[in-house]
Amino acid sequence: MIAMWLTGLLRRHRARLLGAAAGVAVAVALISTLGSFLATSEATMTQRAVHSVAVDWQVQFTPGADTTAATRLLKATPGVKAHARVEFAKTDGLSATVAGSTQTTSAGVVLGIPATYRDLFPNQIRTLTGADTGVLLAQQTAANLHVAPGDTIRIGRAGLPAAAVTVAGIVELPQANSLFQTVGATPAAQPAAPPDNVVLLGETQWHNLFDPLAAGRPDLVSTQIHLRRAHALPADPGAAYTTVRAAARNLEAHSAGAALVGDNLGAALDAARGDAAYARVLFVFLGLPGAVLAALLTATVTSAGADRRRAEQTLLRARGATARQVLGLAAAEAAVVGAVGAVAGLAAAAVVNWMAFGSPRFGSTVTASVGWPAAAAAAGMAVAAATVLVPARRELRARTVADGRALLSTLRVPIWARLGVDGLILAGAAGVFYATTGRGYQLVLAPEGVPAISVSYWAFAGPALLWIGAALLTWRLADLLLGRGRPLIASALRPFTGDLAGTVAAGISRARRPLVGAIVMLTLAVAFATSTATFNATYRQQAEVDAQLTNGADVTVTAAAPLPAEIASKLATVPGVRAVEPMAHRFAYIGADLQDLYGVRPASITRATALQDSYFPQSTATAQMSALVNKPDSILLSAETVHDFQLRPGDQVTLRIIDASTRQPRPVTFRYAGVVTEFPTAPKDSFLVANADYVAAQTGAAASTVYLIDTGGRDTAAIAARIRGVVGTAATVTDINTVRTNVGSSLTAVDLSGLTRIELSFALVLAVGAGGLVLGLGLTDRRRVYALMSALGAHSRHLRAMVFSETAVLTTIGIVAGGLTGSVLSVMLVKVLSGVFDPPPDTIAAPWAYLGITAAVTVGALGAVSAAAVLLFSRRPAGGLIRDQ
């Protein structure tokens, strides 16, 4: 019986089954592709976090510890692949005499490293000039002493004569913050900045120079063991962090307090797990609505044949079929729809994954590769059961055979419309939106050092309620317009249908409920496409802003010491350079805090870089730069500094800045003019922005050490190479393309371009399906009406007028309502997901090209379906169509 039933369905109602299966396939494909995106992104985050660390663990021996026993314990620790002993000594100053001029520095640090250190930890030290071994100076130290390879410097030793050594090379320490951390200290107790003066010696030379110091002043020397661990970690950054953190704690426990672990690897994974939490949030906020929409599309397709299915079930029951048998037939139909949809969806997902991520796999691990397809297939089967089996069961329990024989039904206003539930839901969405975007609210909370991450998925209630409320409100307004607003519809159609306007409007009004359902589906599909595309466009916009904020400009030249005054004009002549903007990066004390000070030319800085209003929370970029121009002694401070020193606009602020002539700090007075949270090349923590000319006048030197270069965004890598030829080893040159690959707002490892292609493609498919497929099935179900009209004398032009009028009403209302809903939803998503953006956007980016393509394709699909329907109704004999019913 079941086989006969399914055969009959495939022969007579193939379009309905295929349409339902297509809806299930879309849901399965979207869930599985987004799941593979999530799994791949998390694995990539873990890999990048691991590769970004130069030294996994820095183990510090506590005073009085048995270093020999502790070292043996470290070597025997599971997972340790390599280790090296590093000695630290504090120097009271360095000095050098070059070309008859003597330069001295303040206190510094001298490291003793073994000969194999750079091979074991290649990312810890980078040679800028000179040899790779011997006496190596940090770039800032060489600039302070004005020395080069081959020059002699003297290293101060407390209570001992200064030691003279010959410089062999100049190096950069890319991870100086972690290298000079205070192992075992809380984040608040860590040094504000690494030391400016650093010397690296071979271990033998270090012991010769500082073993005598250790004998008399053991407090000035210390020892660390640097470790590289095996990186066989879980793909999930959170699980990987927990694994590494537990191993570090285990080592500290087994050492009985003799060793403290500076867990650099754990710190990197700690940051990555926050990004992973945001990736999961994106999956929920951007992926789940698409899956729900696909399920609704399936339900709409299935309900398009509800009257016919009801009649068929009534006939079966009238001929003696039991309720269990009828339900079994519905279950068989649901199983076929679910299975076909799941298989097709997984096949489509594999193709999409290959196109978007370069691999048809559903994840980088076996669990992800099996788990996500299985979960997506299960979701597809659940959608099929909910849209086919559940309605059939409801019909069996709620309707009798006599009810099923009724031909006419009264169009009633649903109870939710009478109670105004749509308005209540929209009010709830506004309330949730206000609560989740208020001051201090955090969507993702990842406390440092705490394994658990708190994600407030409750914030999803705002967009979800907006979706539901907008759908219900669209239903109410469309039903009202097509019902009581029939005269308006007739007036709008009259220029195209002439005398048939009243008849067409009446026909639309009488059969409006299926059309209203199609309008709601098209509205949700267009809203999904609009909101997804807008969010992705805004994300890309802010990722570009973040890249430029990090690098400073298209190309940035950074020197440890001021470059010659003519360098700016030389840079301006490099082919491809449009503008060069010098900027002074110095350090200044405000109270006891040492902060970065940026001296800028406020009238011209925007020639080479962009300033967002979001950088200046209490004002705008234009207003704050104007303040620095009109009142040169103005200064912009971080919010933290303003709070700590209880400052008000106009208050005097005295900084201590190094004077060019005396090389000693001197007080310089400024006036507090505003707050700055971000600035090109500035660090994330506290910094200062002032007028460069005023700073130069007060300290006796312009000291431009940074040059922001605008290339118009073109050929930045090639232009950066040319600039390196101009500045040589005196400065570091970075281009925005290199930075862009490492910066992506908060989600540093998420391939949003792949996610964008997935979401926008599915949004387009859903828009076309919601319009074309639902409209086509609705027209097919009403073909008997058109056949009767043809039999009564209607010509093809009359049929064309009726069909295309219905299509025009559906298209116009659906696209307009969807565009409005999508616009409001876009604003809500960007605000609720503000933590994804770094910095927050000044404006929301509108992807007009994609939205235009979506509208054009949707209109084209609806037009094609309408044309095909007219062709079918006009060419096929009316008698045959009537008998088919």
The pLDDT averaged over each successive group of 10 residues in the chain (885 residues) is 64 70 82 79 82 90 77 83 92 88 89 94 88 90 86 93 93 88 75 84 94 90 91 87 90 84 89 77 74 76 62 67 73 83 87 72 70 84 80 66 50 84 93 77 56 64 90 93 89 83 82 82 88 85 82 88 84 93 89 85 92 88 94 92 88 88 85 92 85 90 86 89 85 82 48 65 77 66 60 64 83 92 90 74 86 87 80 56 47
690, β-bridge pairs: 599, 635
**Which stretches of 552-671 are DSSP H helices?**
567-572, 621-630, 639-644
Measure Cα distances from 808 to 796, 816, 863 in Å.
Answer: 18, 12, 9
Q: Indicate the pTM of the whole model.
A: 0.73
CB 676 within 8 A of CB 616: yes
C-alpha distances in Å from residue 752, one per residue of 44, 529, 551, 800: 12, 16, 21, 44
Q: How far apart are CA 446 and CA 452, in angstroms?
A: 7
Residue 139 backbone dihedrals phi, psi, to 5 degrees: -55, -45
Rounded Cα–Cα distance for residues 551 and 557 (Å) = 10
d(CA 37, CA 276): 11
First to last CA, the chain: 23
Tell me the three state secondary structure of residue 682.
coil
**H or E element: which one contains 130?**
strand 126-130
For 185-221, letters b (16+ CB in 10 Å) and e give eeeeeeeeebbbbbbbbbbeebeebbeebbeebeebb
C-alpha torsion sign, points 113, 119, 123, 127 = positive
Q: Which residues contact 597 (CB under 8 A, 6 or more apart)?
A: 584, 585, 586, 587, 588, 655, 657, 687, 688, 689, 690, 695
For residues 202, 204, 210, 212, the Cα torsion angle rounded to the nearest 10 degrees is -170
Residue in 168, 169, 166, 165 with CA at minimum distance from that of residue 128? 169
Give the integer Cα–Cα distance in Å for 681 and 713: 17
Contact (CB, 8 A) for 103 and 144: yes
User: What does the alpha-carbon distance between residue 376 and residue 382 come to, in Å, rounded to a whole number?
Assistant: 10
In whole angstroms, give the CA distance from residue 547 to residue 715: 16
The backbone torsions φ and ψ at residue 676, rounded to the nearest 5 degrees and listed phi first, read -130, 130
Q: Which residue matches tokens 């649901």?
A: 334
Q: Is 103 helix (H, G, I), strand (E, B) or coil?
A: strand
Task: Say which residues have a Cβ less than 8 Å from residue 297's Cβ, sequence separation at least 6.
Answer: 23, 26, 521, 525, 766, 769, 770, 773, 774
Separation of alpha carbons 871 and 864, rounded Å: 10
Residue 284, token pair as written in the block: 């929920």
**Using an 8 Å Cβ cutoff, are 164 and 152 in contact?**
yes
Contacts of 446 (CB under 8 A, 6+ apart): 270, 273, 274, 277, 453, 454
- Sign of the torsion formed by the C-alpha atoms of 821, 823, 829 and 831: negative
Backbone angles phi, psi at 488, to 5 degrees: -65, -40
Neighbours of 621 (CB within 10 A): 19
Is 733 in a helix, a strand, or coil? strand
Q: Which residues pair with 655 in a beta bridge?
A: 668
Note whether 881 and 873 are within 8 A (CB). yes
Answer whether the bond into residue 122 is a cis peptide, omega within 30°.
no
Query: Can you tell me the distance from the alpha carbon of 378 to that of 372, in angstroms, rounded to the nearest whole number?
Result: 10
530 neighbors 851 (Cβ within 8 angstroms): yes
Please give the structure tokens belonging to residue 451. Answer: 């394994």
Token pair listed for 810: 């559906």
Q: How many CB atoms lie within 10 A of CB 412?
A: 8
Residue with tokens 């809806």: 23
Q: d(Cα 222, Cα 183) in Å, to the nearest integer?
A: 11
What pLDDT score does 434 carry?
A: 85
